[in-house]
Structure 1
Amino acid sequence: MLSQSDVNKCFSITFENDFAILRMNYGENRFNKCSCNAILNCLDSVLRNPKAKALIAIGNTKYFSNGLDLEWMSKAPSEDVLGAIQLYQEILHRISHFPMPTVAAVNGHAFAGGALLAFAFDYRVMRRDRGWLCLPEIDLKLRFQPFMIQLAKLRLRSNKSIREVILFGKRLTGPQCLEADIVDAITEVDDLLPASKIIAEKCIGGRTLDRDMVRVMKEDIYADMQSKTQGASNDEGRIKELQSKHSKL
Protein backbone atom coordinates (compact mmCIF):
# COMPACT_ATOMS: atom_id res chain seq x y z
CA MET A 1 0.00 0.00 0.00
CA LEU A 2 1.22 3.49 -0.83
CA SER A 3 2.25 5.86 1.94
CA GLN A 4 -0.04 8.68 3.03
CA SER A 5 2.12 11.24 1.22
CA ASP A 6 1.97 9.20 -2.01
CA VAL A 7 -1.81 8.75 -1.75
CA ASN A 8 -2.24 12.49 -1.13
CA LYS A 9 -0.76 13.10 -4.58
CA CYS A 10 -3.61 11.08 -6.13
CA PHE A 11 -6.25 13.49 -4.84
CA SER A 12 -6.03 17.14 -5.77
CA ILE A 13 -8.00 20.36 -5.61
CA THR A 14 -7.76 22.97 -8.33
CA PHE A 15 -9.66 26.25 -8.35
CA GLU A 16 -11.18 27.34 -11.64
CA ASN A 17 -12.94 30.69 -11.24
CA ASP A 18 -15.64 30.05 -8.61
CA PHE A 19 -15.30 26.26 -8.75
CA ALA A 20 -13.23 23.91 -6.59
CA ILE A 21 -12.49 20.76 -8.60
CA LEU A 22 -11.68 17.59 -6.65
CA ARG A 23 -9.85 15.16 -8.93
CA MET A 24 -9.54 11.54 -7.76
CA ASN A 25 -6.84 9.56 -9.56
CA TYR A 26 -6.22 6.62 -7.21
CA GLY A 27 -6.88 3.58 -9.38
CA GLU A 28 -10.42 2.46 -8.58
CA ASN A 29 -10.64 5.28 -6.02
CA ARG A 30 -11.41 2.88 -3.20
CA PHE A 31 -11.70 4.02 0.40
CA ASN A 32 -9.02 3.07 2.91
CA LYS A 33 -7.42 5.02 5.71
CA CYS A 34 -5.00 6.92 3.47
CA SER A 35 -7.45 7.75 0.68
CA CYS A 36 -10.09 8.94 3.17
CA ASN A 37 -7.56 11.21 4.85
CA ALA A 38 -6.53 12.60 1.46
CA ILE A 39 -10.12 13.43 0.51
CA LEU A 40 -10.79 15.08 3.85
CA ASN A 41 -7.65 17.19 3.42
CA CYS A 42 -8.93 18.29 0.02
CA LEU A 43 -12.27 19.32 1.52
CA ASP A 44 -10.42 21.36 4.14
CA SER A 45 -8.49 23.20 1.42
CA VAL A 46 -11.76 24.14 -0.31
CA LEU A 47 -13.13 25.64 2.89
CA ARG A 48 -9.95 27.68 3.35
CA ASN A 49 -10.57 29.43 0.02
CA PRO A 50 -13.18 32.17 0.51
CA LYS A 51 -13.61 32.54 -3.25
CA ALA A 52 -14.84 28.98 -3.80
CA LYS A 53 -18.59 28.91 -4.43
CA ALA A 54 -19.14 25.29 -5.53
CA LEU A 55 -17.43 21.90 -5.24
CA ILE A 56 -17.22 19.48 -8.18
CA ALA A 57 -15.69 15.99 -7.91
CA ILE A 58 -14.56 13.75 -10.76
CA GLY A 59 -12.70 10.42 -10.91
CA ASN A 60 -10.26 9.01 -13.42
CA THR A 61 -11.01 7.62 -16.88
CA LYS A 62 -12.84 4.42 -15.87
CA TYR A 63 -13.82 4.83 -12.21
CA PHE A 64 -15.63 7.41 -10.15
CA SER A 65 -15.22 5.13 -7.12
CA ASN A 66 -15.55 1.40 -6.53
CA GLY A 67 -16.27 1.77 -2.81
CA LEU A 68 -14.49 0.41 0.24
CA ASP A 69 -11.01 -1.08 -0.18
CA LEU A 70 -11.95 -4.63 0.81
CA GLU A 71 -8.52 -6.02 -0.12
CA TRP A 72 -6.81 -3.63 2.30
CA MET A 73 -9.46 -4.25 4.96
CA SER A 74 -8.92 -8.01 4.75
CA LYS A 75 -5.30 -7.54 5.86
CA ALA A 76 -5.39 -4.45 8.08
CA PRO A 77 -5.73 -4.51 11.88
CA SER A 78 -9.29 -4.14 13.13
CA GLU A 79 -8.56 -0.74 14.67
CA ASP A 80 -7.34 0.57 11.29
CA VAL A 81 -10.45 -0.80 9.57
CA LEU A 82 -12.64 0.89 12.18
CA GLY A 83 -10.74 4.14 11.67
CA ALA A 84 -11.19 3.94 7.89
CA ILE A 85 -14.94 3.31 8.22
CA GLN A 86 -15.27 6.30 10.52
CA LEU A 87 -13.31 8.46 8.08
CA TYR A 88 -15.49 7.27 5.18
CA GLN A 89 -18.62 8.14 7.15
CA GLU A 90 -17.11 11.55 7.84
CA ILE A 91 -16.61 12.07 4.10
CA LEU A 92 -20.26 11.27 3.37
CA HIS A 93 -21.41 13.52 6.19
CA ARG A 94 -19.16 16.43 5.26
CA ILE A 95 -20.01 16.36 1.57
CA SER A 96 -23.76 15.99 2.17
CA HIS A 97 -23.53 18.96 4.58
CA PHE A 98 -20.92 20.93 2.60
CA PRO A 99 -21.57 24.68 2.89
CA MET A 100 -21.83 25.30 -0.85
CA PRO A 101 -23.43 23.58 -3.86
CA THR A 102 -21.78 20.27 -4.77
CA VAL A 103 -21.78 18.30 -8.02
CA ALA A 104 -20.55 14.75 -8.65
CA ALA A 105 -19.21 14.32 -12.19
CA VAL A 106 -19.65 10.55 -12.40
CA ASN A 107 -17.15 9.69 -15.11
CA GLY A 108 -17.27 5.90 -14.72
CA HIS A 109 -18.26 3.11 -12.38
CA ALA A 110 -19.79 4.15 -9.05
CA PHE A 111 -20.22 0.97 -7.02
CA ALA A 112 -21.23 0.40 -3.39
CA GLY A 113 -19.53 3.09 -1.29
CA GLY A 114 -18.70 4.91 -4.53
CA ALA A 115 -22.40 5.16 -5.40
CA LEU A 116 -23.08 6.47 -1.89
CA LEU A 117 -20.33 9.04 -2.43
CA ALA A 118 -22.15 10.24 -5.54
CA PHE A 119 -25.41 10.34 -3.55
CA ALA A 120 -23.77 12.63 -0.98
CA PHE A 121 -23.51 15.43 -3.57
CA ASP A 122 -26.35 17.84 -4.26
CA TYR A 123 -26.26 17.18 -8.01
CA ARG A 124 -25.01 14.34 -10.19
CA VAL A 125 -23.89 14.39 -13.84
CA MET A 126 -23.16 10.95 -15.29
CA ARG A 127 -21.31 9.77 -18.34
CA ARG A 128 -23.71 8.74 -21.08
CA ASP A 129 -21.91 5.86 -22.75
CA ARG A 130 -19.93 3.98 -20.07
CA GLY A 131 -20.08 3.22 -16.37
CA TRP A 132 -22.63 1.76 -14.00
CA LEU A 133 -24.09 3.00 -10.76
CA CYS A 134 -24.74 0.08 -8.42
CA LEU A 135 -25.24 -0.85 -4.77
CA PRO A 136 -24.21 -4.54 -4.89
CA GLU A 137 -24.47 -5.21 -1.15
CA ILE A 138 -26.95 -8.04 -1.71
CA ASP A 139 -24.33 -9.86 -3.80
CA LEU A 140 -21.58 -9.10 -1.27
CA LYS A 141 -23.90 -10.29 1.53
CA LEU A 142 -23.34 -7.05 3.43
CA ARG A 143 -26.08 -5.22 5.29
CA PHE A 144 -26.39 -1.48 4.86
CA GLN A 145 -25.88 0.70 7.90
CA PRO A 146 -28.91 2.88 8.74
CA PHE A 147 -27.37 6.15 7.59
CA MET A 148 -26.45 4.56 4.25
CA ILE A 149 -30.05 3.50 3.70
CA GLN A 150 -31.25 6.98 4.58
CA LEU A 151 -28.81 8.65 2.19
CA ALA A 152 -29.70 6.29 -0.67
CA LYS A 153 -33.44 6.73 -0.11
CA LEU A 154 -33.04 10.52 -0.21
CA ARG A 155 -31.62 10.23 -3.75
CA LEU A 156 -33.81 7.43 -5.09
CA ARG A 157 -37.07 9.20 -5.74
CA SER A 158 -39.41 6.24 -6.30
CA ASN A 159 -40.32 2.95 -4.69
CA LYS A 160 -39.25 1.24 -7.92
CA SER A 161 -35.75 2.75 -7.72
CA ILE A 162 -35.44 1.84 -4.04
CA ARG A 163 -36.45 -1.73 -4.84
CA GLU A 164 -34.22 -2.16 -7.87
CA VAL A 165 -31.11 -0.31 -6.63
CA ILE A 166 -31.03 -0.90 -2.86
CA LEU A 167 -32.81 -4.24 -2.49
CA PHE A 168 -31.77 -6.09 -5.63
CA GLY A 169 -28.52 -4.29 -6.53
CA LYS A 170 -29.39 -3.59 -10.15
CA ARG A 171 -26.68 -1.94 -12.26
CA LEU A 172 -27.87 1.25 -13.92
CA THR A 173 -26.34 3.04 -16.89
CA GLY A 174 -26.30 6.81 -17.23
CA PRO A 175 -29.47 6.93 -19.36
CA GLN A 176 -31.25 4.62 -16.90
CA CYS A 177 -30.18 6.83 -13.98
CA LEU A 178 -31.49 9.91 -15.79
CA GLU A 179 -34.81 8.22 -16.53
CA ALA A 180 -35.10 7.27 -12.83
CA ASP A 181 -34.27 10.86 -11.76
CA ILE A 182 -31.15 9.67 -9.90
CA VAL A 183 -28.86 11.97 -11.87
CA ASP A 184 -29.54 15.47 -13.14
CA ALA A 185 -27.89 15.13 -16.55
CA ILE A 186 -25.91 12.75 -18.76
CA THR A 187 -23.15 13.83 -21.13
CA GLU A 188 -20.21 12.59 -23.12
CA VAL A 189 -17.10 12.14 -21.00
CA ASP A 190 -15.40 15.31 -22.31
CA ASP A 191 -18.45 17.37 -21.35
CA LEU A 192 -18.75 16.16 -17.75
CA LEU A 193 -16.91 19.06 -16.14
CA PRO A 194 -18.45 21.78 -18.36
CA ALA A 195 -21.94 20.38 -17.69
CA SER A 196 -21.22 20.19 -13.96
CA LYS A 197 -20.10 23.81 -13.95
CA ILE A 198 -23.28 24.87 -15.74
CA ILE A 199 -25.40 23.11 -13.13
CA ALA A 200 -23.46 24.76 -10.32
CA GLU A 201 -23.74 28.16 -12.01
CA LYS A 202 -27.51 27.78 -12.38
CA CYS A 203 -27.76 26.80 -8.71
CA ILE A 204 -25.78 29.83 -7.58
CA GLY A 205 -27.57 32.13 -10.00
CA GLY A 206 -25.12 34.99 -9.62
CA ARG A 207 -25.60 35.09 -5.87
CA THR A 208 -23.07 34.78 -3.08
CA LEU A 209 -24.58 32.07 -0.93
CA ASP A 210 -23.79 32.36 2.76
CA ARG A 211 -21.84 29.25 3.73
CA ASP A 212 -23.21 29.09 7.25
CA MET A 213 -26.76 29.31 5.96
CA VAL A 214 -26.18 26.59 3.36
CA ARG A 215 -24.74 24.33 6.06
CA VAL A 216 -27.65 24.95 8.43
CA MET A 217 -30.19 24.29 5.68
CA LYS A 218 -28.51 20.99 4.85
CA GLU A 219 -28.39 20.04 8.53
CA ASP A 220 -32.15 20.58 8.70
CA ILE A 221 -32.83 18.63 5.51
CA TYR A 222 -30.58 15.70 6.46
CA ALA A 223 -31.27 15.67 10.20
CA ASP A 224 -32.55 12.10 10.14
CA MET A 225 -29.45 10.85 8.31
CA GLN A 226 -27.23 12.68 10.79
CA SER A 227 -28.90 10.99 13.77
CA LYS A 228 -28.49 7.57 12.18
CA THR A 229 -24.75 8.17 11.74
CA GLN A 230 -24.09 8.34 15.47
CA GLY A 231 -22.24 5.21 16.57
CA ALA A 232 -22.83 3.49 13.22
CA SER A 233 -19.27 2.19 12.85
CA ASN A 234 -18.67 0.88 16.38
CA ASP A 235 -19.60 -2.64 15.44
CA GLU A 236 -17.00 -5.42 15.72
CA GLY A 237 -19.24 -7.79 13.77
CA ARG A 238 -19.38 -5.34 10.89
CA ILE A 239 -15.60 -5.00 10.84
CA LYS A 240 -15.06 -8.78 10.81
CA GLU A 241 -17.67 -9.07 8.07
CA LEU A 242 -15.84 -6.54 5.90
CA GLN A 243 -12.47 -8.18 6.56
CA SER A 244 -13.80 -11.55 5.39
CA LYS A 245 -15.38 -10.38 2.15
CA HIS A 246 -12.35 -9.92 -0.09
CA SER A 247 -11.31 -13.58 0.16
CA LYS A 248 -14.81 -14.65 -0.92
CA LEU A 249 -15.10 -12.42 -3.98
Structure 2
Amino acid sequence: MSVKSSAHLNAPVRNVGTMTLYFVDDIAVIVMDNGENRLNDTFVIAFNELLDDVESNSCRGLITTSVGKFYCNGLDLAWMNEISKEQTRDFFLKFSKLIMRLLLFPVPSLAAVNGHAFAGGALLAITHDLQVQRRDTGWLCFNEVFINKQFIKFHYTLMRTKIGTGHSYTDAVILGKRYTGPEALINGLVHAAPSMPLLLSESIQLLKSFYGKSGYPRESLQLMKSDVYRDVINQYQQDLSEGHIINKGDIIAKKAKL
Protein backbone atom coordinates (compact mmCIF):
# COMPACT_ATOMS: atom_id res chain seq x y z
CA MET A 1 0.00 0.00 0.00
CA SER A 2 1.43 3.39 -0.98
CA VAL A 3 -1.25 5.89 0.16
CA LYS A 4 -0.30 7.68 -3.10
CA SER A 5 2.98 8.78 -1.57
CA SER A 6 6.64 8.35 -2.37
CA ALA A 7 7.10 6.67 1.02
CA HIS A 8 5.65 3.21 0.52
CA LEU A 9 3.85 1.24 3.20
CA ASN A 10 4.45 -2.47 2.91
CA ALA A 11 3.66 -5.47 5.09
CA PRO A 12 0.94 -4.19 7.43
CA VAL A 13 1.52 -5.22 11.02
CA ARG A 14 -2.13 -5.31 12.03
CA ASN A 15 -5.60 -4.50 10.74
CA VAL A 16 -8.38 -3.47 13.08
CA GLY A 17 -11.54 -2.92 11.09
CA THR A 18 -10.75 -0.31 8.47
CA MET A 19 -7.55 0.89 10.15
CA THR A 20 -4.12 -0.53 9.45
CA LEU A 21 -0.85 -0.23 11.35
CA TYR A 22 2.45 -0.09 9.48
CA PHE A 23 6.02 0.65 10.49
CA VAL A 24 8.39 2.72 8.38
CA ASP A 25 11.80 2.36 9.98
CA ASP A 26 11.17 3.43 13.59
CA ILE A 27 7.89 5.28 12.95
CA ALA A 28 4.44 3.76 13.39
CA VAL A 29 1.91 4.76 10.74
CA ILE A 30 -1.83 4.32 11.31
CA VAL A 31 -3.82 4.51 8.08
CA MET A 32 -7.58 5.10 8.24
CA ASP A 33 -9.56 3.76 5.29
CA ASN A 34 -13.29 4.09 5.81
CA GLY A 35 -14.35 6.80 3.40
CA GLU A 36 -15.06 9.89 5.47
CA ASN A 37 -13.68 8.18 8.60
CA ARG A 38 -16.58 9.43 10.69
CA LEU A 39 -16.16 9.36 14.46
CA ASN A 40 -18.13 6.58 16.13
CA ASP A 41 -17.58 3.72 18.57
CA THR A 42 -15.91 1.52 15.96
CA PHE A 43 -13.47 4.32 15.11
CA VAL A 44 -12.50 4.96 18.73
CA ILE A 45 -12.09 1.28 19.60
CA ALA A 46 -9.91 0.57 16.55
CA PHE A 47 -7.80 3.69 17.10
CA ASN A 48 -7.20 2.79 20.73
CA GLU A 49 -6.25 -0.79 19.89
CA LEU A 50 -3.63 0.38 17.42
CA LEU A 51 -2.33 2.96 19.90
CA ASP A 52 -1.87 0.05 22.32
CA ASP A 53 0.27 -1.68 19.69
CA VAL A 54 2.32 1.47 19.12
CA GLU A 55 2.96 1.91 22.84
CA SER A 56 4.07 -1.69 23.19
CA ASN A 57 6.56 -1.23 20.35
CA SER A 58 9.95 0.48 20.68
CA CYS A 59 9.18 2.89 17.83
CA ARG A 60 10.12 6.54 18.16
CA GLY A 61 7.20 8.30 16.52
CA LEU A 62 3.60 8.02 15.32
CA ILE A 63 1.92 9.26 12.14
CA THR A 64 -1.80 9.04 11.41
CA THR A 65 -3.21 9.53 7.93
CA SER A 66 -5.91 8.28 5.60
CA VAL A 67 -6.62 7.44 1.97
CA GLY A 68 -8.97 9.23 -0.39
CA LYS A 69 -10.38 12.74 -0.02
CA PHE A 70 -10.95 12.75 3.76
CA TYR A 71 -8.70 12.62 6.80
CA CYS A 72 -11.71 12.64 9.14
CA ASN A 73 -15.07 14.29 8.57
CA GLY A 74 -16.23 14.59 12.18
CA LEU A 75 -19.03 12.92 14.10
CA ASP A 76 -21.00 10.05 12.60
CA LEU A 77 -24.41 11.66 13.02
CA ALA A 78 -26.20 8.94 11.04
CA TRP A 79 -24.88 6.36 13.50
CA MET A 80 -25.85 8.54 16.45
CA ASN A 81 -29.37 8.71 15.08
CA GLU A 82 -29.61 4.93 15.58
CA ILE A 83 -28.22 4.54 19.09
CA SER A 84 -29.58 5.28 22.54
CA LYS A 85 -28.89 8.35 24.67
CA GLU A 86 -26.79 6.20 27.01
CA GLN A 87 -24.69 4.93 24.11
CA THR A 88 -24.16 8.49 22.88
CA ARG A 89 -23.03 9.54 26.35
CA ASP A 90 -20.64 6.59 26.48
CA PHE A 91 -19.22 7.50 23.07
CA PHE A 92 -18.45 11.08 24.11
CA LEU A 93 -16.67 9.81 27.20
CA LYS A 94 -14.62 7.41 25.07
CA PHE A 95 -13.80 10.01 22.42
CA SER A 96 -12.78 12.59 25.03
CA LYS A 97 -10.52 10.01 26.65
CA LEU A 98 -8.98 9.23 23.24
CA ILE A 99 -8.26 12.93 22.65
CA MET A 100 -6.50 13.16 26.00
CA ARG A 101 -4.57 9.95 25.36
CA LEU A 102 -3.33 11.24 22.03
CA LEU A 103 -2.48 14.65 23.48
CA LEU A 104 -0.26 13.02 26.13
CA PHE A 105 1.00 10.14 23.98
CA PRO A 106 4.53 9.08 25.04
CA VAL A 107 6.03 9.29 21.54
CA PRO A 108 5.88 12.35 19.25
CA SER A 109 2.83 12.25 16.99
CA LEU A 110 2.07 13.78 13.61
CA ALA A 111 -1.20 14.09 11.69
CA ALA A 112 -0.58 13.80 7.94
CA VAL A 113 -3.80 15.40 6.74
CA ASN A 114 -4.42 13.94 3.30
CA GLY A 115 -7.82 15.57 2.68
CA HIS A 116 -10.73 17.21 4.45
CA ALA A 117 -10.56 17.40 8.25
CA PHE A 118 -13.75 18.93 9.62
CA ALA A 119 -15.04 19.55 13.16
CA GLY A 120 -14.05 16.59 15.36
CA GLY A 121 -11.69 15.47 12.60
CA ALA A 122 -9.88 18.82 12.72
CA LEU A 123 -9.75 18.52 16.52
CA LEU A 124 -8.23 15.06 16.17
CA ALA A 125 -5.59 16.45 13.80
CA ILE A 126 -4.48 19.35 15.99
CA THR A 127 -4.30 17.08 19.05
CA HIS A 128 -1.15 15.55 17.53
CA ASP A 129 2.18 17.22 18.28
CA LEU A 130 2.79 18.06 14.63
CA GLN A 131 0.52 18.61 11.63
CA VAL A 132 1.22 18.34 7.91
CA GLN A 133 -1.52 19.13 5.39
CA ARG A 134 -1.44 18.44 1.65
CA ARG A 135 -1.25 21.61 -0.38
CA ASP A 136 -3.32 20.82 -3.46
CA THR A 137 -6.77 19.97 -2.09
CA GLY A 138 -8.72 19.53 1.15
CA TRP A 139 -9.71 21.82 4.02
CA LEU A 140 -8.91 21.93 7.71
CA CYS A 141 -11.98 23.45 9.34
CA PHE A 142 -13.66 23.77 12.73
CA ASN A 143 -17.10 24.28 11.21
CA GLU A 144 -19.29 23.98 14.33
CA VAL A 145 -20.58 27.53 13.99
CA PHE A 146 -22.16 26.64 10.65
CA ILE A 147 -23.97 23.55 11.94
CA ASN A 148 -25.24 24.97 15.25
CA LYS A 149 -22.92 22.92 17.45
CA GLN A 150 -20.39 23.78 20.12
CA PHE A 151 -17.29 22.07 21.39
CA ILE A 152 -16.87 20.77 24.93
CA LYS A 153 -15.14 23.26 27.25
CA PHE A 154 -11.84 21.42 27.37
CA HIS A 155 -11.79 21.40 23.55
CA TYR A 156 -11.69 25.20 23.57
CA THR A 157 -8.80 25.13 26.02
CA LEU A 158 -7.04 22.62 23.79
CA MET A 159 -7.59 24.72 20.67
CA ARG A 160 -6.37 27.91 22.39
CA THR A 161 -3.25 26.05 23.50
CA LYS A 162 -2.60 24.70 20.02
CA ILE A 163 -3.66 27.66 17.88
CA GLY A 164 -3.06 30.61 20.21
CA THR A 165 -5.41 33.41 21.24
CA GLY A 166 -4.88 35.81 18.33
CA HIS A 167 -6.68 36.27 15.03
CA SER A 168 -6.03 32.68 13.97
CA TYR A 169 -8.13 31.46 16.90
CA THR A 170 -10.93 33.88 16.01
CA ASP A 171 -10.81 32.91 12.34
CA ALA A 172 -10.59 29.16 12.95
CA VAL A 173 -12.88 28.57 15.92
CA ILE A 174 -15.38 31.44 16.00
CA LEU A 175 -15.71 32.08 12.25
CA GLY A 176 -15.07 28.52 11.08
CA LYS A 177 -12.55 29.45 8.36
CA ARG A 178 -11.73 26.69 5.87
CA TYR A 179 -7.96 26.43 5.58
CA THR A 180 -6.19 25.01 2.58
CA GLY A 181 -2.77 23.52 3.27
CA PRO A 182 -0.86 26.70 2.30
CA GLU A 183 -3.28 28.88 4.31
CA ALA A 184 -2.95 26.63 7.35
CA LEU A 185 0.84 26.84 7.04
CA ILE A 186 0.84 30.65 6.84
CA ASN A 187 -1.43 30.87 9.89
CA GLY A 188 0.62 28.45 11.98
CA LEU A 189 -1.93 25.62 12.11
CA VAL A 190 0.37 23.14 10.37
CA HIS A 191 4.11 22.67 10.07
CA ALA A 192 4.30 21.88 6.35
CA ALA A 193 2.09 21.72 3.26
CA PRO A 194 3.64 19.37 0.70
CA SER A 195 2.01 17.96 -2.41
CA MET A 196 0.14 14.70 -1.93
CA PRO A 197 2.89 12.50 -3.46
CA LEU A 198 5.29 13.85 -0.82
CA LEU A 199 2.87 13.96 2.13
CA LEU A 200 4.04 10.83 3.90
CA SER A 201 7.75 11.09 3.07
CA GLU A 202 7.93 14.73 4.23
CA SER A 203 5.94 13.85 7.35
CA ILE A 204 8.46 11.12 8.17
CA GLN A 205 11.35 13.48 7.52
CA LEU A 206 9.82 16.19 9.70
CA LEU A 207 9.14 13.83 12.58
CA LYS A 208 12.67 12.41 12.43
CA SER A 209 14.13 15.93 12.42
CA PHE A 210 12.80 16.38 15.95
CA TYR A 211 13.79 13.14 17.61
CA GLY A 212 17.15 12.59 15.89
CA LYS A 213 19.07 9.34 16.30
CA SER A 214 18.02 8.38 19.80
CA GLY A 215 14.39 9.43 20.10
CA TYR A 216 12.75 10.95 23.16
CA PRO A 217 12.71 9.21 26.54
CA ARG A 218 9.03 8.30 26.75
CA GLU A 219 8.52 9.15 30.39
CA SER A 220 10.25 12.50 29.99
CA LEU A 221 8.21 13.40 26.92
CA GLN A 222 4.93 12.48 28.59
CA LEU A 223 5.83 14.48 31.70
CA MET A 224 6.68 17.50 29.54
CA LYS A 225 3.34 17.23 27.76
CA SER A 226 1.56 16.95 31.10
CA ASP A 227 3.22 20.18 32.25
CA VAL A 228 2.57 22.09 29.03
CA TYR A 229 -1.03 20.90 28.73
CA ARG A 230 -1.90 21.27 32.41
CA ASP A 231 -4.72 23.74 31.65
CA VAL A 232 -6.24 21.26 29.18
CA ILE A 233 -5.94 18.41 31.68
CA ASN A 234 -7.54 20.46 34.44
CA GLN A 235 -10.44 21.53 32.23
CA TYR A 236 -10.95 17.96 31.03
CA GLN A 237 -11.12 16.73 34.61
CA GLN A 238 -13.51 19.54 35.52
CA ASP A 239 -15.72 18.72 32.51
CA LEU A 240 -15.81 15.10 33.61
CA SER A 241 -16.68 15.89 37.21
CA GLU A 242 -19.36 18.45 36.27
CA GLY A 243 -20.96 16.23 33.63
CA HIS A 244 -20.27 18.52 30.66
CA ILE A 245 -19.05 15.65 28.48
CA ILE A 246 -22.14 13.57 29.18
CA ASN A 247 -24.34 16.63 28.64
CA LYS A 248 -22.68 17.16 25.27
CA GLY A 249 -23.69 13.61 24.40
CA ASP A 250 -27.30 14.39 25.32
CA ILE A 251 -27.31 17.54 23.16
CA ILE A 252 -25.85 15.76 20.14
CA ALA A 253 -28.20 12.81 20.59
CA LYS A 254 -31.19 15.19 20.60
CA LYS A 255 -30.03 17.08 17.50
CA ALA A 256 -29.16 13.89 15.62
CA LYS A 257 -32.71 12.67 16.06
CA LEU A 258 -34.43 15.88 14.95
Q: Give the alignment's TM-score, normalised by structure 1.
A: 0.92
Partner of 2:4: none
Which string of whole-angstrom CA distances, capped at 9 and with x for unpartnered residues, describes residues 82-140 of structure 1?
11111111221111111111110000001000000011111111010111011111112
Partner of 2:16: 8
1:164, CA displacement in angstroms? 0.8
**Aligned counterparts, 1:45-194, within 5 A:** 45-50=53-58, 52-157=59-164, 159-194=166-201
Is 1:241 the counterpart of 2:251? The answer is yes
Partner of 1:4: none
Contact 1:108–1:127 (8 Å) recurs in 2: yes
The count of aligned residue pairs is 241
Contact 1:134–1:170 (8 Å) recurs in 2: yes
Contact 1:31–1:84 (8 Å) recurs in 2: no
1:77, CA displacement in angstroms? 0.8
SS at match of 2:164: coil
* Structure 1 unaligned regions, length at least 5: 1-6
SS at match of 2:215: coil
Partner of 1:42: 50
1:244, CA displacement in angstroms? 3.5
Contact 2:65–2:114 (8 Å) recurs in 1: yes
1:247, CA displacement in angstroms? 5.6
Separation in 2, partners of 1:213, 1:114? 28
In structure 1, give the amino acid aligned to 2:70.
Answer: Y
Separation in 2, partners of 1:26, 1:127? 19
1:9, CA displacement in angstroms? 2.2
SS at match of 2:193: strand
Is 1:201 the counterpart of 2:208? The answer is yes
In structure 2, give the amino acid aligned to 1:242.
Answer: I
1:238, CA displacement in angstroms? 2.4
Identity of aligned residues (%): 33
In structure 2, give the amino acid aligned to 1:20.
Answer: A
SS at match of 1:64: strand
1:158, CA displacement in angstroms? 5.1
Separation in 2, partners of 1:82, 1:174? 34
In structure 1, give the amino acid aligned to 2:24.
Answer: E
Contact 1:54–1:200 (8 Å) recurs in 2: yes
SS at match of 2:57: coil
* Structure 2 unaligned regions, length at least 5: 1-14
SS at match of 1:186: coil
In structure 2, give the amino acid aligned to 1:190.
Answer: P
Partner of 1:31: 39
In structure 2, give the amino acid aligned to 1:72.
Answer: W
Aligned pair partner of 2:30 in 11, 22, 28: 22
Which string of whole-angstrom CA distances, capped at 9 and with x for unpartnered residues, describes residues 44-92 of structure 1?
0001112x10000001211110111111112211111111111111221
* Bigger Cα displacement from structure 2, 237-246 vs 55-64: 237-246
Partner of 2:5: none
1:231, CA displacement in angstroms? 5.4
Contact 1:140–1:245 (8 Å) recurs in 2: no
1:218–1:44 distance in 2 versus 1, CA, 3 Å: same
1:31, CA displacement in angstroms? 1.1
Separation in 2, partners of 1:70, 1:121? 24
SS at match of 2:239: coil
Q: Give the alignment's TM-score, normalised by structure 2.
A: 0.89
1:231–1:157 distance in 2 versus 1, CA, 3 Å: closer
Contact 2:138–2:180 (8 Å) recurs in 1: yes
In structure 2, give the amino acid aligned to 1:243.
Answer: A
1:231–1:26 distance in 2 versus 1, CA, 3 Å: farther
